Structure 1
């Protein structure tokens, strides 16, 4: 750590951690070592996860739940063992409440379709309302739009304040006695805002509405305790938490999973099948039709092991220190405007910004020439960009392997961008 960084507290031993991530050693563009600042889009993978995937395919590859031979039983044990690890990681009351999907988008679509097909008292129809927020990822907007279009339900949402927080001043008008489901992000992928979960859930419970939380930007970065959250459903994805792509999680309360209908039909999710009718297996298999993402689940289990060994509390402290430093340094850049909270209070490690009148895509390309990888665009949260009157943003996002030196490299890179465009 340089003298400029001596005041930062809570940092992890990133020198040791970064040795676990092969891609962070890559050299790009004329010998420049990569500065990876796009973990909100997808995290890098440690050797421990890559080794778990390779070992599965090399030694244990078979379909699960269907064979009595040794390798098939090993594959089943690894797959179901990953479910146990995820359940412990999120403090689920039961492993049977953990459903494997391909990503958080599928998890959220699963909830929307279950409610669209459900019987009372859960059914969403033309007499009911759905509440979301203006800061949602498209994955937590489009499924609810589709459900409202299909059922006639009214879609409502919370707006945003000028400083990137949810405007809850009209909470009793947005969440009413007609509301059946309230779905919102715990941490915004564009703004970085950490939302006031307790306030929203309290109001939802007052009117008897179910609550679904998109924890895609929370699960990798902080302790995620589904019992403490008191939500009814929680969705997140593996590839943002040092796991592989192609694996997501939906946690749901046991009684709801027992009562709600499945969305996908096929092998494994059934109990009995005749040509006239079928009965369904208990949760979680009721919602996991067909061959599941076996290797990906094994990789997610290894990712959970990796994060748990470091400690989510330690990761959260590290990211808070990095974010606090990054917010301060970025505000030193002339003409730079942070879109979202301008302090580290109640904020995650994704920071979106605009730089004068330079288009974010140009900013990203010039940074890339310096080996700095950031995200540009609307980050699948276009309503946020519309709210703040901007076409897109540049986003830098940090994780357990990010360093203060990488923040400095970003700031220096942005000065180069400014000079480049005069």
Structure 2
């Protein structure tokens, strides 16, 4: 029976010679050794190299950005293991289509032919659709190779992940892209009409995406020009490729983590870079304003109490000016945070106090610090023995404010940095006064 979504198994299967073929299709590798990049996956001691050498290929999930070879590698795996290659996309495939794919694979298996089912954008399938693969993976009807640009930990079911090995494919390096450009020039039988700097700019424009690079090269090859183009001329003719960024995807969390850690690491240049990367990708500046303010609270705290105010002012400035001028205020706030003294003492103290609050249950305050607005409460001893600190020596009574019978907690441990250095001196002074008064009461 004919196969749904059937794709030629051999990688060198071609359309008729009269049909125009894109450069990316003409340069498609015919064996794994021709794949550019991904040595961490394809090398002799890398996972796929070891699997092919041992003849034991397992189900896989390729995780990586667009244009790094996920589809090509899957097709070549089928060819090199003599499996029938079937390709589907989760975007266009429903449950009835999946049933036909599985049925065709069963017939193929009965005739002695295995099936490598390549599922592009596999993270787009819902839980029920992902679960439908499991029995066919377990009984050997299919060898599943999924491809995703999103973090499999968040997007794929645990049951599916437990039956497949996740392999991470990296964006192509500038060296990889240069090798690809040279391969394209050999196919075209001519050099690209670019100066050295313009060629470097072209590779940067591809942003690690091999398919994007070949599309750009195909455009350039069609131009009729008399002299090599410089970077300015190339930029005028080509639209720079939009940066890969998904405001709700893995890139979003990776970049906000990079921004936060650059601020924490006191690197204003790196912090500004990640901030502008997110803004250039279309991130909501209000989200960034909130996260920047959070950094001031968590990572700087009382080492520089002014930092929080700087962030709130920047947030308000953005609300008043909007984009793009208001974004400059966010950049200035990020620079201030990166250069500010760092302390998470307040953050750590709050978490430790919260832990103690949850473990001590409903312990009431000691009676000496409870208000006594009624006679009954006075009779119960509320407020008796309370010392008004302003009337005490040094305006410090040293009384216990924790619940009776509860061991005194020590949560706030200020750092010897910034304004907290002064706070630590005050705290140490109060600790010594408290110990002194306690000693006096004991004697």
| TM-score, normalized by the shorter chain, greater than 0.5 | no
Indicate the TM-score class for this superposition, using the shorter chain for normalisation: under 0.3
TM-score scaled to structure 1, two decimals? 0.23
Larger Rg: 2
**Relative contact order (C-alpha < 8 Å, sep 6+): which is higher?**
1
More helix as a share of residues:
2
TM-score by length of 2: 0.22
